[in-house]
Amino acid sequence: MQVPRKQHRTRRFLGGSKKFCVRHRARDKNHVWSYDSVTDRTEDGRQLRLLVVLDEYTRECLSIEAGRSCTAQDVIGVLQYLFAVRGMPEHLRSDNLAMTPALSLYQRYFVVG
C-alpha cells in the first residue's frame, strides 16, 4: 500500500501577471489606507453592511459606517470627510471593484490637491 506523494503548489510572485499592481507596505501614518465593506445579518434576517476604513501603519480604524446598504456614493462621502479631517493618504487600497468610483474621486483629489 503506497501513500500518494504530496503535491507542491507553485508559488506565485508579485508582478507575475498582466494585472499586476504595486502593493505598498505602509511606512508611516497616513501612508496607506484601506477600506472594505463587511456584511452581516441581524436577528430578524435583514442585511447590515459596515464600511470600514483603516490606516494600515497604525492599525487605527478611521471610520466605521453602518447601514442597510453601502453604495459608491457612501464610500465617496466617507472618504471626502476623512480627506478633510485627516489629510490625504499617499495610497488608497480596496479589493472591491464595486467601490472603484471612490478611487476615481481619490485620484481627482490627488492630482488636483
| Average pLDDT of adjacent 10-residue blocks, the chain of 113 residues | 76 54 77 89 93 92 91 85 90 69 60 46
Q: Per CATH, which fold does 32-112 belong to?
A: Nucleotidyltransferase; domain 5 (3.30.420)
Q: What is the dihedral of CA 78, 80, 86, 88, to 10 degrees?
A: 120
Q: What's the pLDDT score for residue 4?
A: 79
Domain positions in the chain: 32-112
User: What CA–CA distance (Å, rounded) separates 113 from 100?
Assistant: 19
- Strand-pair partners of 66: 50
Q: What's the pLDDT score for residue 112?
A: 45
- C-alpha distance across the termini of the chain, in Å: 69
